[in-house]
């Protein structure tokens, strides 16, 4: 077989090519006489010649520096689940049967204020509020007096500042939600980071019980409107004070950050701006601030100012050993450092255990959709578990008392 194939190839190789018909080439020659066709053919010839030059002599850029990089798609980061997803996980059955949602409380469209809002998650993704929260909108409960209350403020360079009234009334008490203990162990919750995101702020105000304390960012636009709305729903409120963290200024909480190196004068000037952003808060809380807390001078100046204005100071647990202000409290737990329903519920369980052991416990969290949803579900079953939900102001204590 192989010999026969070799003979056939040799015979073909030695045979002369068959002559081409002149008639077959005439259409091609006629077409080349046309200017557009001729120009196109010339371009093809130039490109072909350049390719032949590179093939024979090599790439003229071969001696130039080159670089290469390997591109890899980064792994998808874990994101905080939405509120509606929070109780769709297995293993959380204990919190799933907290009663049916009353459609009458949900508004015409099932969302806050009868509409649909956009929720921005920590990774930048967005979902509609109707998909983000399933806890019902609550009717306003025992609205608090509209701020400011006469006698509890004074003019300042940037707006009204809190003060102790001439009759001895103080903002820490006048703006707090009234509370009476029923003898059961007490748990309190502060939800912060409010005012920057419309949907999550509305959800916290409208879907959480009035006993949950709300904390607002001083840089938020329309801050007084948010505080008025929260108080109309019965929530007492606080203002968050940005404080110098480790890594500052790379980790920068904003232009009015209280600095450990600023001294008393710097603290006073910045505090005047921060406190004048709104009225109606019973106290303030820290936003970051682990480095600020190391400065005796700056921390002392802050506490003195708050004490003179009759304001409470509640921290996230990182400043527990720092006394001062008119009244003080420190959180026992941050409930959502891990943003998953199971982790948040574990923290709530630990908070309940601490309350039953010590008589009271305070937790803090950020206004992630999963946190708001988890808090709404958790608070609904507290009474059945032998606990009383209290406002955070009820956890504060006067120095020496």
Two structure tokens written together for 212: 């949950």
SS3 category, 16: coil
Summarize the confidence of residues 24-50 as an average pLDDT: 55
Which CATH architecture does the domain made up of 149-395 adopt?
Answer: Alpha-Beta Barrel (3.20)
Name which of 7-16, 254-263, 339-348 the model is least confident about.
7-16
DSSP state string for 152-200: SEE--TTS-EE---TTS--HHHHTSPP----SS-EEEEEEEEETS-HHH
Distance CA 327, CA 282 (A): 10
pTM of this prediction exceeds 0.75: no
Position 36 scores a pLDDT of: 56
Q: Report the pLDDT value the prediction gives residue 41, as an integer from 0 to 100.
A: 57
Question: Domain spans of the chain?
Answer: 149-395
pLDDT at 95: 34
Alpha helices in 58-111 (DSSP H): 83-86
| Ordered alpha helix ranges (H), 331-399 | 341-358, 369-380
What are residue 188's DSSP bridge partners? Answer: 362, 390
Separation CA 205–CA 235 (nearest Å): 7
pLDDT, tens only, 221-238: 999 999 999 999 999 999
Instruction: Quote the CA–CA distance of 375 and 364 in Å, as a whole number.
Output: 11
| DSSP letter string, 42-54 | HHHHHHHHHHHHH
In tens, the pLDDT along 280-324 reads: 999 999 999 999 999 999 999 999 999 999 999 999 999 988 888
- pLDDT (tens digit per residue) in 328-347: 999 999 999 999 999 999 99
Q: What percent of the chain has pLDDT over 90?
A: 63
- Pick 86 or 170 by higher pLDDT: 170
Residue 213 makes CB contacts below 8 A (sequence gap 6+) with 177, 188, 189, 190, 191, 235, 236, 237, 238, 391, 392, 393
Those residues whose C-beta lies under 8 Å from the C-beta of residue 283, and which sit 6 or more positions away, are: 171, 172, 238, 306, 311, 312, 313, 314, 325, 327, 393, 396
């Amino acid at each position: 077989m192989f010999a026969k194939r070799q003979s056939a190839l040799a015979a073909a190789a030695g045979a002369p090519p068959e002559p081409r018909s002149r008639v077959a080439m005439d259409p091609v020659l006629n077409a080349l006489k046309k200017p557009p066709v001729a120009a196109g053919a010339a371009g093809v010839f130039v490109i072909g010649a350049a390719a032949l030059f590179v093939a024979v002599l090599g790439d003229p850029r071969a001696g130039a520096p080159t670089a290469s990089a390997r591109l890899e798609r980064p792994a998808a980061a874990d994101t905080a689940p939405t509120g509606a997803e929070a109780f769709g996980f297995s293993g959380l059955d204990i919190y799933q049967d907290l009663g049916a949602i009353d459609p009458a409380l949900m508004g015409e469209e099932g969302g806050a204020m009868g509409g649909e809002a956009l929720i921005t998650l920590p990774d930048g993704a967005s979902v509609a509020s109707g998909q983000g929260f399933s806890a019902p909108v609550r009717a306003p409960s025992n609205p608090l007096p509209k701020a400011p209350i006469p006698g509890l403020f004074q003019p300042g360079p940037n707006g009204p500042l809190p003060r102790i009234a001439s009759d001895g009334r103080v903002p820490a008490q006048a703006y707090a939600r009234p509370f009476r203990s029923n003898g059961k162990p007490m748990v309190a919750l502060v939800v912060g980071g409010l005012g920057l995101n419309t949907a999550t702020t509305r959800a916290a105000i409208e879907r959480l019980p009035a006993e949950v304390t709300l904390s607002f960012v001083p840089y938020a636009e329309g801050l007084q409107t948010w505080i008025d709305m929260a108080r109309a729903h019965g929530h007492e409120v606080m203002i968050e004070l940005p404080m110098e963290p480790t890594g500052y200024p790379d980790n920068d909480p904003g232009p009015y950050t209280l600095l450990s190196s600023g001294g008393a004068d710097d603290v006073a000037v910045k505090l005047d701006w921060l406190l004048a952003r709104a009225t109606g808060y019973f106290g303030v809380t820290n936003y970051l601030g682990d480095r600020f807390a190391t400065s005796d001078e700056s921390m002392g100046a802050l506490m003195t100012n708050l004490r003179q204005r009759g304001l409470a100071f509640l921290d996230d647990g990182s400043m527990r050993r720092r006394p001062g202000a008119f009244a003080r409290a420190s959180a026992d737990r941050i409930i959502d450092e891990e943003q998953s329903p199971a982790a948040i519920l574990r923290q709530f369980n630990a908070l309940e255990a601490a309350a039953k052991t010590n008589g009271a416990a305070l937790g803090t969290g950020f206004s992630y959709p999963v946190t708001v949803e988890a808090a709404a579900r958790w608070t609904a079953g507290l009474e059945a578990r032998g606990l009383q939900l209290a406002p955070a102001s009820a956890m504060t204590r006067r120095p020496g008392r």
